[in-house]
Amino acid sequence: MLIKALRVGLGQLIVFIDFLTRPKKMQRSAEAQAEVKARTANLALYQFHGCPFCVKTRRALHRLNLPIALRDAKNDAQARQELETQGGKIQVPCLRIEENGQVSWLYESKAIIAWLEQRFA
């Protein structure tokens, strides 16, 4: 019970510090941002709100100004089930990528951030 309370408290502290130190968004022209929005329409990030690796990944999304859908795999039973059955395991962060009718699942915050920077930076 005490351990769970510490984990929840630490998670909330991490989210608060992230809010205070959030990086500036990348600026794009309206046309370029519309193109980014279209290219990110088939992406979704499965995450836990207080997970430090998920916070790191969300910071990259914010910095790169990417409108990617967030799915709460901790509190949303449907998102958790999708992650487990389609992705193969319950591990966050996980980026669901749908391209050319194919769906792939990318795990690990460093790999996700590198993939996003390669395509959108």
Q: What is the set of domains in the chain, with CATH numbers?
A: 2-23+40-120 (3.40.30.10)
Nearest-angstrom CA–CA distance, 33 and 44: 18
Task: For 34-60, write each residue's pLDDT tens digit.
Answer: 999 999 999 999 999 889 999 999 999
**Cα 73 from chain centre:** 11
User: Do 83 and 94 form a contact (C-beta atoms < 8 A)?
Assistant: yes
User: Above 90 in pLDDT, residue 95?
Assistant: yes
- What does the pLDDT look like over 53-86, one tens digit per residue? 999 999 999 999 999 999 999 999 999 999 999 9
| Beta carbons within 8 Å of 112's beta carbon, 6+ residues apart | 45, 57, 60, 93, 94, 95, 106
Mean pLDDT of 80-107: 94
The label of the residue with tokens 């390669």 reads 118
Q: Is the pLDDT of residue 8 over 80?
A: no
Strands (E), 49-93: 69-72
Residue 54's nearest CA partner among 5, 3, 107, 103 is: 107
Query: CB within 8 A of 107, min separation 6: which ones?
Result: 87, 89, 91, 93, 94
Q: Are 52 and 109 in contact (CB under 8 A)?
A: no
Model pLDDT, residue 5:
80
Q: Which helix (H) or strand (E) holds 106?
A: strand 102-107
* pLDDT at residue 16, as a whole number: 84
Please state the pTM of the whole predicted model: 0.86
Looking at residue 20, its pLDDT comes to 83
